[in-house]
A = this chain, B = another copy of it.
Amino acid sequence: MRKVFQAELHQVGDELIQIATLVRAAVEKAATAFENADVELAEDVITADARIDFLQTELDERAIDILARQGPVASDLRMIVGALRMSTSLERMGDLARHIAQLARLRYPRPVAADSLVATFEEMARLDTDIAGAVVELLDTRDLTHATRIQQLKTRINELHRSVFDAVAGPDWQESSARTADVVLASRYFERFADHGVSVSRKVTYLVTGEWDPDALEGRVGADDA
């Protein structure tokens, strides 16, 4: 019985990794579609998001089924509740990758980013892809150095997110209002993606250490507060 239960918990962990791997692929493709105005790649991301949504629903049902049948306590219970929350964050990361791809598709054949912000968005895209990769590693290995790395990458994302607002409000900005709207939203999507990555990393940290970082309460730090 205990063995079956452990196998079920393990499967939930594997499914989280599977979803995170799809999210990483999604943001990597979305970033490329965004940079290169590649409408076919954008379509791929948009279509593939349904798979992430499906897997999330499946994982949630499995987790609730385990709660009902096994009545787990202590660290097992924490793990199941944590999985329910992480799956929500991962699903949201998939949505945000899709939003980035949708912006690319909407503006095709024109690129979304103004020339003066191409380098900024390339860095944001690389950071988000790195964060998604670190989330996969963290879920797989439980090695908290990945969590620390995710926090560091997020700090840089916040700087870049603010720099987009500074650029748009600055004297050299000559772009149309439509493009201003696009870059502000795109920057917010990249920043939100990273923030959900941080959420996942905090939940894993909590599962490993049993402690929340009191300075790191969600939704109360970072560029989101701007």
Q: Which residues of A contact B (CB under 8 A)?
A: 53, 64, 67-68, 71, 73-74, 77-78, 81, 84-85, 88, 91-92, 95, 99, 102, 106, 165, 168-169, 173, 175-178, 180-181, 184-185, 188, 217, 219-220, 224-226
A176: chain B residues at CB < 8 Å are 169
Chain B residues lying within 8 Å of A178, measured Cβ to Cβ, are 165, 168-169
Cα separation A85 to B169 with both chains bound (whole Å): 38
A225 nearest in chain B by CB position: B102
Determine the distance from Cα of A74 to Cα of B92 in the docked complex, in whole angstroms.
27
Contact B68 A74 (CB under 8 A): yes
The answer to whether A67 touches B67, judged by C-beta atoms less than 8 angstroms apart, is: yes
Indicate which residue in B77, B165, B169, B188 contacts A188 across the interface (CB closer than 8 Å): B188
Residues from chain B with Cβ under 8 Å of A85 in the complex = 84, 88
Residues on B with beta carbons closer than 8 Å to the beta carbon of A175: 177
Docked pose: A142 CA to B135 CA in angstroms: 38
**6 A–B contacts, CB within 8 A, in A order:** A68-B73, A99-B224, A168-B181, A169-B178, A180-B180, A181-B184
Q: Across the interface, name the chain B residue whose C-beta is closest to A60.
A: B81
* Contact (A177, B188) CB under 8 Å given A67-B81, A88-B88: no
Is A64 within 8 A of B88, CB to CB?
A: no
Residues of B within 8 A of A177 (CB): 168-169, 173, 175, 177, 180
Interface contact A68-B77, CB-CB below 8 Å: yes
Assuming the contacts A64-B77, A67-B81, A85-B88, asked whether A53 and B220 have C-beta atoms less than 8 A apart, the reply is yes
A184–B180 Cα distance when bound, in Å, is 9
- What residues of chain B lie closer than 8 Å to A71, measured between beta carbons? 71
